[in-house]
Structure 1
C-alpha cells in the first residue's frame, strides 16, 4: 500500500472517527439502538482497516495476538461474572434486579438494570472486538498453498 499515499492518509483520518462512533454505540446501547455487538464489530473494523492498509505486522503491533486472546476470555468473563454475581446475590442468572439492593448503591454506583446491562454489553463488546480481530489475523496470516 505504500504506492497509495492517499489511502494511507484517509485511513489515518477516518480511524479516530470510527473508534469514536464505536464507543458512542457501546455506551449508548442501554438507552437506544446499539450495544456491545454492534460496537464490537465497528471497533474491530477500525483495526481491520488499519491492517488492510498498513499490513498485518503493523496492526499486530497495535493489538498483539496474545492480548487479543486474553481480551476474548476477559469479555466472556465479564458477561458470565455479571450473571454469577446476580446468582450470588440470591437471584437468577442475569437477574439485574438483584443488583438494585446491594452495597454498590451506597457508594453512588448506579445499580439495577442500568449496571447489569452496562456490564453485559461491555463484555459482549470486548468479546466481539477480540474475536473479529482474531478472525482477521487468522485469515490475513495464512499462506498460499502451492
Structure 2
C-alpha cells in the first residue's frame, strides 16, 4: 500500500463508521423525521464508496464484494414484495400493514413500514455500490503516459 495521503486515509477511517451509523439513524427514525430507506441506503453506500475512493477497489471489495452488492439488490426487493405477500397470506390487501397486528393496527403499520423501508435500504445500498463498482472498475481507454 502506498504511504502518501496519510491524513486522508486516517480521516476516512474515522468517518466511515459515523457515516454508517448516521445511515442507521436515518433508517430507524425515518417515520418520525425526514428520511427513510432511500436516504439511508444512499448514505450507507457513501461510506463504502468513500472507503473505495481512498483505499482502492481491492480493499473495498474485500469488505463488500461485488457479488454481495448484487445479492443485496435482489434481497431488498424480496423484502419489500415479501411484506406485501405476507399481508395477502394473512387475508388482507397487498401491503396492508394492519395485517401484522390485527388487534393493534397502528403497531402493524409501524412494523410494516419498517420492513418495507428496510427493503428499500438494502436495495438502494446494493444499487449505489454496484454502480460505483461498475464505473470504478473500468479500464481507461487512454493510458496515463499518453496524456
- Asked if Structure 1 and Structure 2 have the same fold, meaning a TM-score greater than 0.5 normalized by the shorter chain, the answer is yes
Correspondence 1:60-139 to 2 at 5 A: 60-101=61-102, 111-139=107-135
What is the RMSD of the two structures over their aligned residues, measured on CA atoms?
1.6
Post-superposition Cα deviations, 1:7-30, rounded to whole Å, max 9, x if no partner, equal: 000101111111110010011112
Equivalent residue number for residue 26 of structure 1:
27
Query: Cα offset for 1:63?
Result: 0.1
Post-superposition Cα deviations, 1:63-120, rounded to whole Å, max 9, x if no partner, equal: 0111111111111000000011111112221111122228xx8xxxx94100000000
Query: Residues of 2 paired with 1:53 and 1:116: CA distance?
Result: 38
Verify: 1:142 aligned to 2:129, yes or no.
no
Query: Residues of 1 paired with 2:45 and 2:25: CA distance?
Result: 14
TM-score (norm 2): 0.90
Equivalent residue number for residue 11 of structure 2:
10
TM-score (norm 1): 0.90
Please identify, of 122-131 and 81-90, the stretch whose mean Cα deviation from structure 2 is larger. 81-90
Structure 2 alignment gaps of length 5 or more: 143-147
Post-superposition Cα deviations, 1:112-131, rounded to whole Å, max 9, x if no partner, equal: 10000000000000000010
Q: Once superposed, which parts of structure 1, at least 4 consecutive aligned residues long, lie more than 4 Å away? A: none
Count of residue correspondences: 140
Structure 1 alignment gaps of length 5 or more: none
SS at match of 2:110: helix
SS at match of 1:92: coil
SS at match of 1:112: helix
Query: Residues of 1 paired with 2:46 and 2:83: CA distance?
Result: 27
